[in-house]
């Protein structure tokens, strides 16, 4: 894949991810957090399934026959469910700006965990990306009150839940 195509796809993913907070908060007015999360993941499953069947048809039997890969898939699902569930539940009571800022903390967490806990060498550009992520997140939420709410601690924990999905994948 070319760098241009990869950058465009990352920009699209960022746009989708960034606008999801508004739809998450709006959707929470009519249904509960877990119903919303189930609907979100179910429609994502239906969207991705045809591509997975077509593009990965040769690898499905390899993945299902390898217990380690099955356990990694289950662990990734568990951490993703934990992070998304906590985030969605916290959105009921937290301000959306705090939710956006605290949810993006998984980006610096992954870099810090990689460098200082796993002892993996992190490229210098990652540290610049971490700083830009924190600055951009601050700009996203800087026009709101910076008071912390109890539900913000759930968002912080949710950001920690998103970190293992990076390492498991």
User: How confident is the model at residue 46, as a pLDDT?
Assistant: 93
Q: Which residues of the chain have pLDDT under 70?
A: 21, 140-149, 165-169
This prediction's pTM = 0.69
User: How confident is the model at residue 76, as a pLDDT?
Assistant: 86
Query: CA 139: distance to chain centroid?
Result: 19
Contact 87, 145 (CB under 8 A): no
Per DSSP, which regions of the chain are E strands? none
């Amino acid at each position: 894949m070319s760098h241009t195509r990869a950058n465009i796809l990352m920009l699209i993913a960022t746009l989708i991810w960034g606008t999801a907070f508004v739809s998450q908060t709006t959707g929470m007015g009519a249904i509960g957090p877990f119903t919303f999360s189930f609907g979100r993941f179910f429609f994502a499953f239906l969207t991705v399934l045809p591509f997975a069947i077509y593009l990965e048809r040769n690898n499905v039997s390899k993945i299902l026959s390898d217990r380690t890969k099955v356990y990694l898939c289950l662990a990734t699902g568990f951490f993703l469910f934990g992070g998304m569930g906590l985030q969605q539940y916290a959105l009921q009571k937290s301000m959306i700006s705090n939710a956006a800022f605290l949810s993006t903390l998984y980006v610096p967490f992954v870099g810090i965990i990689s460098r200082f806990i796993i002892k993996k060498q992190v490229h210098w550009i990652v540290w610049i990306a971490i700083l830009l992520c924190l600055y951009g997140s601050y700009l996203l939420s800087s026009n709101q009150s910076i008071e912390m709410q109890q539900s913000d601690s759930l968002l912080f924990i949710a950001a920690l839940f998103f970190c293992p999905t990076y390492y498991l994948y």
